[in-house]
Structure 1
Amino acid sequence: MKRQRRDFLRKLGATGAIAALSPIALSQEAQAKNLIEIKNQFNSENDTTIKLGLIGAGIMGIEDTNSALRHANVELVAVCDLYKGRLDSAKQRWGDHLFVTQDHKELLKRSDVDAVIIATSDHWHKQISIDALNAGKHVYCEKPMVHSVKEGMDVINAWKKSGKVMIVGSQGVSSLGNEKAKELLAEGAIGDIVYAEGFWARMSPEGAWQYAIPKDGNEQTVDWKKYVSNTKSRDWDPLRFFRWRNYLDYGTGMSGDLFVHLFSSLHFITDSYGPNKISSMGGLRYWKDGREVPDVLLGTFDYPETEKHAGFNLSLRCNFVDGTSGTTYLRIVGTKGSMDVKWEEVVVKMNQTMTSDDPFLQEQARLRGDSDTRAAILPPKELVYTAQRNWKGAHYDHFGNWFQAIRTGGTVAEDPVFGFRAAAPALLCNDSYFQNKFIQWDPVNMKLI
């Protein structure tokens, strides 16, 4: 395996080097703090106005559109949603000039729409993405890119054929924290990766997807027949429309909605294609409201050795019954140390000594012939990298990456191939849970084994 390792301390740069040499930093308890610099990556001589259409004006659709409109020379011209109440709200929020419709194909016919944001329920991601690409529109599709692994290659093939720019909305891959972690891992900061773990914790009705049901949410204001037209036909059910994440016909549960963020970040940092063995277990422990998905889920994943990284294992957890509330992290553990990665911060923890206070291990070391050596000046136990305060956030940068690629014909951080490789193990985690078995996956060729 080709893995070039450099001297980590030599690569810290001026700020890190000064911190490491300062008297305070010589203490084992000290932290060396460094700012993660913002790269001026969205400057372009081409400032052509990009006109957007939004398809799916719910929680994420609103958040995505507001982030997009923070960029210069970006306009929203059309909105589509199956619920009329959201169309009315869209005009109140963004202006009466908007063209609004309940039919996404009507929006895609418009010549004044250059690109679309797709923020519908998961079971419509594939078809609307393909329809948009075939209509000559650039696409921003919320994660997960598809509702099942059998849909992935259809989207990839449509994208390649279209010549348009498509990005998948796991915004963490555009974060300063992820970028810094990728750089540090490549420089050998923590040695070779051997293990990683991630965790999502929530403890609120909204966090557990018990969203409010609008008083006017009914068959007269919602195009229910269209909503279920690509899945099992059912009578009108407001819970299945407004709380769709809880139902398998429309959503992808904890793994598709949240694990996919952790997969995206991990794959970006490690240059991994994904795991080849997937397993999961969990259960419905608290939110027994008729949902079809667990509220506690554990997943374990086996990543094979590749040219890019050593073989390692991944453990992911998600808990909607957690009193700590709001906790999330990704930790990467290597042969020399570990990294705790957030979107705005990276904490590197380094192993400085192999000694132990365990009497048994101390005796074994003595029998092995280990001898006391002269004390040494040690580097900091922790190096903390924090985003500059004027950073506008991963959401802003993810859209900036997309707009830049549209204007210049460039590439994006999370194209459909990357997006599918992040979505697949998350979706297969569900399959493992419901089928009670290990799932074998070929991450290179992106197919089941």
Structure 2
Amino acid sequence: MKREAQVNRRGFLTGMAAGALVGPTILARRAGAQPALERLNIGVIGAGGRGGWLMDAFMGFPEVQVIAVADVDRGRVEGTANRANEKYGAGTCTAYTDFRELVARPDLDAVIVASPDHWHALHSIAALEAGKHVYCEKPLANSVYEGRAIARAVEESGKVFQVGSHERSTDSIRRACEIVRAGRLGRVRRVVINLPCDDGHHNEARAFQGVPEAQPVPPGFDYDMWLGHTPLAPYHERRCHFWWRFNLAYGGGEMTDRGAHVLDIAQWALGLDETSPSRIEAYGVQTPGSLYDTFWDYRFAMTYDNGVVFDGGTDGPRGLRFEGPEGTLFVAIHGGALTAQPSRLLSEVEGEDLGVDVGRTPNHQRNFLDAIAGNAQPFAPAEAGHRTAALCHLANIAMKVNRPLTYDPVTEVILGDSEANRLLTPTMRAPWTCRLPATSIREWLPLA
């Protein structure tokens, strides 16, 4: 891609130190060996539950040192940074309330993005443009537009990028992928997707009525920064932290939350990581007038040009079932338990070399580090993460407009429906804009 045609995404990094880029601290152990990570300095953006969990996971690797944490909530970020200081020594990990200060550090090699979904694109792109490797939580982005922008930024940067679709690193799920690809079910034409919305937090969000009156912004919480590019909205604690995922401005509900795992496995196992369905039908229920406007009790069908159909909804145990003429294989997420019909299918392939090897890793974070060292490819690259997130967003868009969509997986345009097509692109409040070349997907420029 010619430089003059590339994206100009630096406008939103006003005040960020320019040119403060260094390569990762990677040294070869001996001549001719693959590069080995002697030390990797990591920063974490997002000090909530997931960000804290990921920080702890990466701190378990001897070659990693967490030297920076950023979050708009001063109380959270200082507490999280202190955990790193307890491990590495006082003053070794700095807390920031502005992510731009973190990504500008020349001694930082990689960034973990664990912010709310509406911030994934801007945080990831900022880190990539600052020369850092990136591990970004799923879903990759909160819109089709932003997902493509990340994928373009990864391509331009040449850096390692891993989406946090950690089910791809589960041994049993990788074995399921090998069974499907080896043809043991026959040609799979249908995948049943189960995304139940019956957990306690689902029930609480669904029962929430109306939009609460504004509350004072807590001291130490930069609410305007938390909103980022989304429209101005009155502060309330139920809008932020964990509950943001049930408002379509910031997340996509269960469809993007667990759907980003379940649909991801389906795409990956069937070799669909670089394409999308051409027809999407979906309908669902919203709670009228609620702060939480994501969908419940939904059904959807996604049809690919090769005839494969993802047939899903909120029924059944969370996971997916591959259906072929020779049998079926159910994969449960968050554990990866496998169930087959006929039941003998699993025992027949136990220990067998199926002629298909998708690789193994101790865990998803280890795979990211191995990819940085040059010893592996990321199991969940940006393009795959973008295509999976796009599935989720297209289903939500179909439910929002309440009609089927015809989608071009090459140009990434919804055909013949201008209202639905506009929903591929977020409204971006200045100065937080994220641009693509106008000719790369469709005429999206200029952004608000």
The interval holding the TM-score normalised by the smaller chain is 0.7 to 0.9
**What's the secondary structure of 2:313's corresponding residue?**
strand
Distance in 2, Cα, partners of 1:240 & 1:98: 29
Q: Is this contact kept in 2: 1:255–1:426, CA < 8 A?
A: yes
For structure 2, the 5+ residue unaligned runs are: 1-32, 207-214, 352-359, 416-448
Q: Is this contact kept in 1: 2:285–2:295, CA < 8 A?
A: yes
Q: What residue number does 1:314 align with? A: 310
Change (3 A) 1:384 1:295: farther
Change (3 A) 1:60 1:208: farther
Distance in 2, Cα, partners of 1:329 & 1:385: 21
Distance in 2, Cα, partners of 1:386 & 1:94: 42
Distance in 2, Cα, partners of 1:44 & 1:71: 18
Computed over aligned residues only, the root mean square deviation of the Cα atoms, in angstroms, reads: 2.9
Q: Is this contact kept in 2: 1:402–1:412, CA < 8 A?
A: yes
Q: What residue number does 2:221 align with? A: 222
Given residue 293 of structure 1, which amino acid in structure 2 is its aligned partner?
Answer: T
- Structure number with the bigger relative contact order (C-alpha 8 A, sep ≥ 6) is 1
Distance in 2, Cα, partners of 1:149 & 1:435: 16
Distance in 1, Cα, partners of 2:94 & 2:148: 32
Tell which structure's C-alpha radius of gyration is larger: 1
Given residue 383 of structure 1, which amino acid in structure 2 is its aligned partner?
Answer: S
Q: Is this contact kept in 1: 2:195–2:255, CA < 8 A?
A: no
Q: What residue number does 1:38 align with? A: none
Q: What residue number does 2:279 align with? A: 277
Q: What residue number does 1:20 align with? A: none
Matches within 5 A, 1:44-443: 46-95=36-85, 96=90, 97-206=92-201, 218-242=217-241, 243-272=243-272, 273-284=275-286, 290-305=291-306, 311-318=307-314, 327-342=317-332, 343-350=335-342, 380=344, 383=347, 397-408=363-374, 410-443=376-409
Q: Is this contact kept in 1: 2:370–2:376, CA < 8 A?
A: yes
Q: CA deviation at 1:282?
A: 1.7
Change (3 A) 1:245 1:94: same
For structure 1, the 5+ residue unaligned runs are: 1-42, 306-310, 352-379, 388-393
Distance in 1, Cα, partners of 2:404 & 2:338: 33
**What's the secondary structure of 1:441's corresponding residue?**
strand
Q: Is this contact kept in 2: 1:171–1:395, CA < 8 A?
A: no
Distance in 1, Cα, partners of 2:289 & 2:173: 36
Distance in 1, Cα, partners of 2:350 & 2:93: 40
Distance in 1, Cα, partners of 2:117 & 2:70: 16
Q: Is this contact kept in 1: 2:239–2:291, CA < 8 A?
A: no
Given residue 275 of structure 1, which amino acid in structure 2 is its aligned partner?
Answer: P
Q: Deviation string for 1:28-76 (max 9, x for gaps)?
A: xxxxxxxxxxxxxxx9661321111110111211222222223331121
Q: CA deviation at 1:302?
A: 0.9
Q: CA deviation at 1:84?
A: 1.5
What is the total number of aligned residue pairs between the two structures?
357
**What's the secondary structure of 2:200's corresponding residue?**
coil
Q: CA deviation at 1:208?
A: 5.2
Q: CA deviation at 1:384?
A: 8.3
Distance in 2, Cα, partners of 1:73 & 1:338: 42
Q: Looking at secondary structure, tell me which structure has more strand per residue.
A: 1
Change (3 A) 1:118 1:239: same
**What's the secondary structure of 2:201's corresponding residue?**
coil
Distance in 1, Cα, partners of 2:216 & 2:78: 13
Q: Is this contact kept in 2: 1:345–1:385, CA < 8 A?
A: no
**What's the secondary structure of 2:50's corresponding residue?**
helix
Distance in 1, Cα, partners of 2:44 & 2:299: 34
Q: CA deviation at 1:184?
A: 1.1
Distance in 1, Cα, partners of 2:378 & 2:197: 31
Given residue 218 of structure 2, which amino acid in structure 1 is its aligned partner?
Answer: E
Q: Is this contact kept in 1: 2:247–2:291, CA < 8 A?
A: no
Q: CA deviation at 1:404?
A: 0.6
Change (3 A) 1:218 1:384: farther
Distance in 1, Cα, partners of 2:216 & 2:158: 39
Given residue 349 of structure 1, which amino acid in structure 2 is its aligned partner?
Answer: Q
Distance in 2, Cα, partners of 1:443 & 1:158: 20
Change (3 A) 1:435 1:289: closer
Given residue 397 of structure 1, which amino acid in structure 2 is its aligned partner?
Answer: N
Distance in 1, Cα, partners of 2:325 & 2:409: 25
Given residue 379 of structure 2, which amino acid in structure 1 is its aligned partner?
Answer: A
Distance in 1, Cα, partners of 2:361 & 2:405: 32
Change (3 A) 1:45 1:126: closer
Given residue 415 of structure 1, which amino acid in structure 2 is its aligned partner?
Answer: P
Distance in 2, Cα, partners of 1:208 & 1:109: 41
Q: Is this contact kept in 1: 2:119–2:228, CA < 8 A?
A: no
**What's the secondary structure of 1:252's corresponding residue?**
coil
Distance in 2, Cα, partners of 1:204 & 1:395: 30
Change (3 A) 1:446 1:419: farther
Q: Is this contact kept in 2: 1:48–1:407, CA < 8 A?
A: no
Q: CA deviation at 1:415?
A: 1.1
Change (3 A) 1:183 1:51: same
